[in-house]
Structure 1
Amino acid sequence: MIKRSKFSLAILMLVLVLGVFLAACGGDSDDNNDNNNNDDQTNDQTNDNNDDNSNDSTNDEGNDNDSASGEPQMGGKLVGAMDTAPAGVFNPIFYEEAYEANILDFTHEGLLSQDDTLQFGPGLAHDWDINEDNTEITLYLEEGVKWHDGEDFTADDVVFTYRSIASPGYIEAGGVRTEYVDKLVGYEDFVNGDTDEFEGVVAEDELTVTFKFAQPNVTILKDVAFPIIPEHVFADVPIGEMPEHPGTLDAGEVIGTGPFMFTEMLEREQYVLEKNPDYWQGEPYLDSITWRIVEGSVMLGLLENGEIDFIADPNGVAAQDYESVAGLDHIKIHEQADFGYQLMGFIHNHRTAEDAESGTINPDNWVPNEDMGDPLVRQAIAWTIDRQAIVDQLLLGHGSVINAPIAQQFWAYDESAATLYEKDLDKAAELLDEAGYVDADGDGYRDTPDGEEWVVNLNYPTGNELRERSAPILAQMIEEAGIQVDLRQPKEMTAYVEDLTNNTGDWDIYLLGWSLGSGDPDPSGLWRSQDAYNFGRWNNPDSDQLIADAITPPDAFEQSYREEVYSEWQGYFSEDLPALLLYAQNKIYGFNERLNGVNPMPYGFNNDPHLWWVSE
């Protein structure tokens, strides 16, 4: 049994699980990804599957370094657009959503970064040594790095960050990133309050830090790459109060080492980042970057008339606007496969009101959801969905059907191991008949095995236009199998995730999207029984064991072994079906030709913004 906060802040295409979930602006054109939620992955290469979806630079008229006019120029301001305001938690150890990441990407950094092949490279640490059995890694930090307030960055800040995540009360305060610390020496004793000493991370001197793991660690580089927070800001703040501290919430108080400082905020309207002139990799060219919160329906017009300069993460340019944007002479487009997916999830079990109130996640207390508890029912519903039609008609081909809950770019993605659900109403009918759901009263809708009226509810949030448009289409497809669907009114994302997190009501089906971390294909954080983001409360011991096996040494040091285990796990997933994976939408980034130096990573747009510059 573990405890979690009773309410996790709004999540949309998160950056966690596991990830997690933070493309900090690392050095040497590398990008550091805060593997939030599922953002804890350590991968070597991209995956060639679904080549028809991975048009990395469709109409990339701008791999902008090629089109830059002249030498980089100092000065200038940029305006970017997001369709939803950040929830307001600007602290790497507590934030939960992609909109907050659009601030943190510019302000905070980790010890390591990643390049466009997902290889780890230097970040705040310029070098490192790993011992022979992969239980210790010593990192050597860059000299002369300053926090935004002028204080020195040291190894003590690294120790403080990881100690905070490991602290008693972190989970209860809403923290979800314990996968970065739970393998470290002494974690259990420290988090349980049995000792005040945390042995897992040690500052050898001001610029040297050693991480000590209890067992040989397959994901050692991912685990030490988490963004660092300043000890001098939070040292005297109890962990339970950190989410409400000005250093977490307030512009001007949020302190990082990154190339831009978060200086001004008009909540839910605009968020201003000003350059850090003392940035350790060199003074940024731009003076400032402002995020404006803009309705999706007017974004294109603002991009066209120059009121905004770019539309990027988390949602990018809408597929239906692609041709219009491509037709603008002063706008460049970069298109690439999303590092994540959209899903239609099934609620297997509900939490008790007591567990939701206390923040406890205890599978032993869960109450089975009778309407979705039978795997035959979940499979039948999956066979009613024409996912390719959604890709063709709503995404206009700018995406692909995804069949496994691992990013397609990873070596571990194996759709051949999964059931490839297509629309097959005969198969759906056969499964429903077998499960005892038949039309007992002749009204055209199937009833429960007890002869009671059967109504399946489908829930979805506002904020993502494509998902809002898909919800009624999905409901209609399900009803074609004789299943009565209650398509509920959408809720604003914050309220939606609160209900989904508490999960004490009568929900059956939910829609959501995940952006996955680039560090490793490990699905921990999203799909284990006790994971906070396992919103459907899927409880499958075989799945849990396979997820553990895939990162358990010594076998897991061989990628071929991990591929085999992840392949088997993807088969379990598609059979027991905690969710039907719908599609991976292509990311379509649109930006004004005056913006130069843009070099998106496979997992995001916000890469090395200290090298961005504008030509007027």
Structure 2
Amino acid sequence: MHKKWWVLMAVFLLAGACGRQEETIAVEVTRVERVTAVPTTIVTPAVQDLMLRPTTVTVVVTETPAPPPTPALKELVICQAQAPGSLYLYDSSMLAADSVRHAVYENLYTNIGYAYQPQGLEKLPSLADGDARLQSVEVAAGDWVVDSDGAVVQLAEGVVVRADDGEQVRFDGSLLTMPQLTVDFVLKPMVWSDGTAVTADDSIFSFELNEASLSFWNAELVARTAVYEVTGDLSLRWVGLPGYLDQTYFLNVWPPLPRHQLGQYAPDEIASVPEAVQMPLSSGPFIVSNWDEGNEITLVKNPYYYRADEGLPYLDQVTFRFIPDSDQVLTDLLAGTCDIGTQDALNMGQIPFMREAEAADLLTPHVVPGVVWEHIDFGIDSAGEYGDGNGRFDWFEDVRVRQAMMMCTNRQQMVDEVMFGASDIINAYLPDSHPLLPDDLPRWPYDVAAANALLDEAGFVDRDGDGVREAADGTRFEITLISTTGGELRPAVSSVFVQNMRDCGIVVNEAWLPSGEMFAGGPEGPLFGRQFDLALFAWLTGTTPDCTFWQSEQIPGVKADGFRGWGGLNGTGWHSLAFDAACDAVQAALPGTPAYEIAHQEALWLFAEGLPVMPLFLRLKTSAARPEVRNFRPDSTQPSELWNLYELDVE
């Protein structure tokens, strides 16, 4: 009985010593107590009355709840095909490295939805806000400037430049003023993972390393930078060379690198030191904790992340695993040993299976159109032995033929059958979702009857009833489509196109060439030597469209004949003075000005009307995540789908 009492007392004392919230419980205990009865008269001790009486005692015992379990670490496992060789900014531009860099270096800006957004910058500078300025400066012989072709040159007599009034002038040694951009940036108060504050000077250090490296990253921008300087603890100023009207001037800032850590090394040494290559100081949400070469990289939460008071990042640990087999990545996603499969690890052919897995709530496919667009180029003005009227009929000079062939092409069938219905048809060199696309853009929807009527109107009819159209001289409308060998996409696209053209009385033969042969420079290469009928290949689009590919000055050919030389990109040979003027106006305008939007929309309208190429569709970016992953948002224009690692989460 005494043992039971002491056990209860021990519980009571331990509970009292515990600082956690307590729950009071009344426990009634019965014990036997020895009681001595004291007589009222003196008696002999030998006859003293000894009695045993039961006594009821109430004991209060407090019970401490068991401590809550330690929360499990939130870990995300990302599976991608390639392992980065280095995280050093000026050593590799591969997508696999950029994906990991999003964890280590804070994004200064993002590129979501065909627009740009500040992240590590307080704001994106603009002409409207005054933190970007276009000024007139005097230039003299010997000054470094950007000429009218966009090349960096020393000003000398005879050099053609763009004056501050927008006109192109030939320098003759007299006084000349040119436009010059000045842009101010302010960094957010970031902190390196060793507790040292990030400064504007760290961005200058990054610029110096970029300038000293042999990397092509930003080489064009570095060469066109007149001044990059600190204007405050977190503020910087970029000044371009006179004549350089950069349409993304608001991005001309360099991501900081820690001078206090890496400044001890010569610039050509940094690409080989572990502190830069594998275990860099972090300004972002995570720190590299383990680098298992070629197998995996483990990162843990950065306690100095400047947004930690917002609860970011949500994850405690991120592990990158490198698996080159796309089927294995899909298997691991279903097994739960991968949480995200990236676009380089998965492929478009897996979309049907991923959709089945999604229906079973096992997987969430993330399939978005990218910025690579497929198109078929017309050989409008050919050269050499393939030249118009010199062994080849001039099929495509009449715009009605190009428009008819566009209407005869079932692009939606291509999207449905080849792209599993996940892509978008495009109608110019920008997608329909781009904010610059004009509302009244000419469109050529699939309409076989209208296409045939337009071909009749252009004078190409079936004169002998064999189902194939002929020119007025009896030449059969039989042409050749060239494209590259390898892969399944283009043969599938070509198959649809060949049948579509049959419906309009045009015979298309296929010729499959190695990439090196098809894209060889002129005059030998068929595409850039302007010796082809039709060519199926891809270009890049993006947030800032480039119209120069189809300007007359880009037509490859012999310079003595008035062409650019064999380095031109306009293999179609299309020549439109109106388009040339609109594209010139685009290059002379800056974002945020009315002239910029007007010029772009004019160029886009003329392109869609003239159709030097047939725009088909956008290629896909295919990734996937397990259903419990949150905030995973791949985007068309942001290259890596891991741009927002700081806010990824798992349930």
- Work out whether residues 365 and 624 of structure 2, in 8 Å CA contact, stay in contact via their aligned partners in 1: yes
**What secondary structure sits across from 1:550 in the alignment?**
helix
The alpha-carbon deviation at position 149 of structure 1 amounts to 10
State how far apart, in whole Å, the 2-side matches of 1:410 and 1:387 are: 19
- Work out whether residues 427 and 615 of structure 2, in 8 Å CA contact, stay in contact via their aligned partners in 1: yes
Q: Among residues 396, 406, 424, which one is paired with 2:430 in the alignment?
A: 406
Q: Among residues 123, 132, 135, which one is paired with 2:120 in the alignment?
A: 123
Question: Aligned residue for 1:506?
Answer: 526
From the two aligned structures, give the one with the greater strand fraction. 2
Q: Report percent identity of matched pairs.
A: 15
Q: Among residues 234, 249, 252, which one is paired with 1:224 in the alignment?
A: 252
Whichever of the two has the greater Rg, that structure is: 2
Question: Aligned residue for 2:144?
Answer: none
Question: Aligned residue for 2:186?
Answer: 140
- For 1:336-485, what aligned pairs fall within 5 Å after superposition? 338-340=369-371, 342-346=373-377, 374=397, 376=399, 378-414=402-438, 416-424=440-448, 427=451, 431=455, 434=458, 455-460=479-484, 462=486, 466-467=489-490, 469-478=492-501, 480-481=503-504, 483-485=506-508
Question: Aligned residue for 2:582?
Answer: 546
Question: Aligned residue for 1:332?
Answer: 364
State how far apart, in whole Å, the 1-side matches of 2:375 and 2:301 are: 42
- Equivalent AA in structure 2 for residue 332 of structure 1: T
**What secondary structure sits across from 1:338 in the alignment?**
strand
The range that moved more, 218-227 or 337-346, is 218-227
State how far apart, in whole Å, the 1-side matches of 2:92 and 2:371 are: 18
State how far apart, in whole Å, the 2-side matches of 1:511 and 1:104 are: 35
Unpaired runs of at least 5, structure 1: 1-69, 188-197, 353-368
Give CA deviations for 1:492-512 in whole Å, capped at 9, x if unaligned.
Answer: xxxx37953746422444545
1:290 to 2:321 alignment? yes
**RMSD value over aligned CA atoms?**
5.6
- Work out whether residues 246 and 254 of structure 1, in 8 Å CA contact, stay in contact via their aligned partners in 2: no
- Equivalent AA in structure 2 for residue 111 of structure 1: L
State how far apart, in whole Å, the 1-side matches of 2:239 and 2:283 are: 25
- Work out whether residues 320 and 395 of structure 1, in 8 Å CA contact, stay in contact via their aligned partners in 2: no
The alpha-carbon deviation at position 411 of structure 1 amounts to 1.9
CA gap 1:550/1:162 in 2 versus in 1, 3 angstroms: farther
The alpha-carbon deviation at position 202 of structure 1 amounts to 1.9
Q: Among residues 310, 314, 322, which one is paired with 2:340 in the alignment?
A: 310
**What secondary structure sits across from 1:212 in the alignment?**
strand
- Work out whether residues 461 and 490 of structure 1, in 8 Å CA contact, stay in contact via their aligned partners in 2: yes
CA gap 1:326/1:422 in 2 versus in 1, 3 angstroms: same
CA gap 1:149/1:454 in 2 versus in 1, 3 angstroms: farther
**What secondary structure sits across from 1:565 in the alignment?**
helix
The alpha-carbon deviation at position 210 of structure 1 amounts to 0.3
Question: Aligned residue for 2:164?
Answer: none
- Work out whether residues 347 and 535 of structure 1, in 8 Å CA contact, stay in contact via their aligned partners in 2: no
**What secondary structure sits across from 2:646 in the alignment?**
helix
1:593 to 2:610 alignment? no
Question: Aligned residue for 1:78?
Answer: 77
**What secondary structure sits across from 1:210 in the alignment?**
strand
- Work out whether residues 80 and 320 of structure 2, in 8 Å CA contact, stay in contact via their aligned partners in 1: no
- TM, length-normalised to structure 1: 0.61
- Work out whether residues 589 and 596 of structure 2, in 8 Å CA contact, stay in contact via their aligned partners in 1: no
- Work out whether residues 346 and 510 of structure 1, in 8 Å CA contact, stay in contact via their aligned partners in 2: yes
- Work out whether residues 601 and 607 of structure 1, in 8 Å CA contact, stay in contact via their aligned partners in 2: no
1:209 to 2:236 alignment? yes
State how far apart, in whole Å, the 2-side matches of 1:538 and 1:94 are: 38
- Work out whether residues 300 and 321 of structure 1, in 8 Å CA contact, stay in contact via their aligned partners in 2: no
Question: Aligned residue for 1:64?
Answer: none
The alpha-carbon deviation at position 78 of structure 1 amounts to 0.8
CA gap 1:126/1:552 in 2 versus in 1, 3 angstroms: closer
The alpha-carbon deviation at position 390 of structure 1 amounts to 2.0
State how far apart, in whole Å, the 2-side matches of 1:438 and 1:220 are: 51
CA gap 1:113/1:218 in 2 versus in 1, 3 angstroms: same
- For 1:4-15, what aligned pairs fall within 5 Å after superposition? none
Give CA deviations for 1:228-264 in whole Å, capped at 9, x if unaligned.
Answer: 67885999668xx99xx6689x963888855465945
- Work out whether residues 631 and 649 of structure 2, in 8 Å CA contact, stay in contact via their aligned partners in 1: yes
Give CA deviations for 1:293-341 in whole Å, capped at 9, x if unaligned.
Answer: 234x665444333343324436776553453132132323556x53535
1:557 to 2:592 alignment? yes
State how far apart, in whole Å, the 1-side matches of 2:357 and 2:278 are: 35
Q: Among residues 348, 352, 357, which one is paired with 1:320 in the alignment?
A: 352
The range that moved more, 116-125 or 380-389, is 116-125
**What secondary structure sits across from 1:398 in the alignment?**
coil
Question: Aligned residue for 2:172?
Answer: none
Higher relative contact order (CA 8 A, sep 6+): 1
CA gap 1:132/1:499 in 2 versus in 1, 3 angstroms: closer
Give CA deviations for 1:542-566 in whole Å, capped at 9, x if unaligned.
Answer: 4454234236458x6345x444322
- For 1:160-239, what aligned pairs fall within 5 Å after superposition? 178=220, 180=221, 187=224, 199-204=226-231, 207-213=234-240, 214=242, 219=247, 222-224=250-252
- Equivalent AA in structure 2 for residue 200 of structure 1: V
Unpaired runs of at least 5, structure 2: 1-68, 135-180, 384-391, 556-566
- Equivalent AA in structure 1 for residue 236 of structure 2: V
State how far apart, in whole Å, the 2-side matches of 1:247 and 1:350 are: 53
- Work out whether residues 333 and 339 of structure 2, in 8 Å CA contact, stay in contact via their aligned partners in 1: yes
State how far apart, in whole Å, the 1-side matches of 2:510 and 2:195 are: 53
**What secondary structure sits across from 1:342 in the alignment?**
strand
- Work out whether residues 334 and 590 of structure 1, in 8 Å CA contact, stay in contact via their aligned partners in 2: yes
CA gap 1:341/1:154 in 2 versus in 1, 3 angstroms: same
